[in-house]
Amino acid sequence: MTFFGEKVNMKLTPQDFANIIFNIEFLFIQPYDQIDQGIGTGKNISFLGKSLTYDEANIRFKNRDKEIKSNLSFLRKIPKMSTIAIGYLINEITKFLEPDECYLNIGCWRGYSFFAGVLNHNCFSIGIDNFSEFGGPKAEFLKDYEQVKHPKSSFFDLDYQEYFESYHNTDTKIGFYFYDGNHSYDHQKESLDVAKPYFSKNVIILVDDTNTNEARSATLEFVKENHPHYEIIFDQLTYINGHPTFWNGLMILRKV
């Protein structure tokens, strides 16, 4: 794991981010460890008398373990293509958003990454999905969203291009951005370019599936084109897609 350099409504500093990462302790399986295909995809195991998924059994949040797992307990029932480590990162980063900033998650699927932000009632969270991929589980998503939504959360049943063209409130700056839609090079790059005018001066950008060449290359091209205004503060590959640490690779950018 490599990185480079409870608060509310303030800029996330490099030291703050280092502290967030420091809390993650993988117990048995590290990101580069070889595992069998499917071991991290939601199958439960018995661990210390509890039925847990591999990603849950494999992690401890050091001196905040009980607090963090309690805060994220709603997510345990949500099917995911993610891990509790990623859910934790999302939830923690939202705590540093300023009052005029939002967390924008494009590509919700069953809602795991979106709900990780929605659980923080102090920040504005916006979810976007037109359910065009992975079976389109709209009804299941909406049922779960009903249980956690609050006045500062909202959801739009749209594709991301239409959302930015017609619906995004220009008074709301994007302080934390996570595009988890089609990860082709063109869509990954466009998702960053189209959102860029709405980014806050302190925006944090999360990119997943960075094991794939398309998502990684598009993100690196965005950083290169906008040099020196964005820097990579976290970049972690995993051995395989569906890994119980950081799933299919994770990269985090910061505007500087």
φ and ψ of 199, to 5 deg: -65, 140
What share of the chain has pLDDT > 70, as a percent?
Answer: 92
pLDDT digits (tens, 9 = 90+) for 15-52: 999 999 999 999 999 999 999 887 766 667 766 677 78
Confidence of residue 86 (pLDDT cuts 50, 70, 90): very high
Cβ neighbours for 224, distance < 8 A, ≥ 6 positions apart: none
What's the confidence (pLDDT) of residue 3? 41
C-alpha 117/C-alpha 122 separation (Å) is: 10
What's the confidence (pLDDT) of residue 40? 67
Contact 123, 173 (CB under 8 A): no
Q: Of 167, 162, 154, which Cα lies nearest the Cα of 190?
A: 162
Q: Of 67, 113, 123, 109, which Cα lies nearest the Cα of 89?
A: 113
Task: Look at residue 204 and tell me whether its pLDDT is greater than 50.
Answer: yes
> Maximum Cα–Cα distance for the chain, whole Å?
51
This prediction's pTM:
0.93
Contact 198, 173 (CB under 8 A): yes
Between residues 133 and 86, which one has the greater pLDDT?
86
Q: Which domains are present in the chain?
A: 14-255 (3.40.50.150)
Q: List the beta strands (DSSP E) in 100-149.
A: 101-106, 124-128
What's the confidence (pLDDT) of residue 76? 94
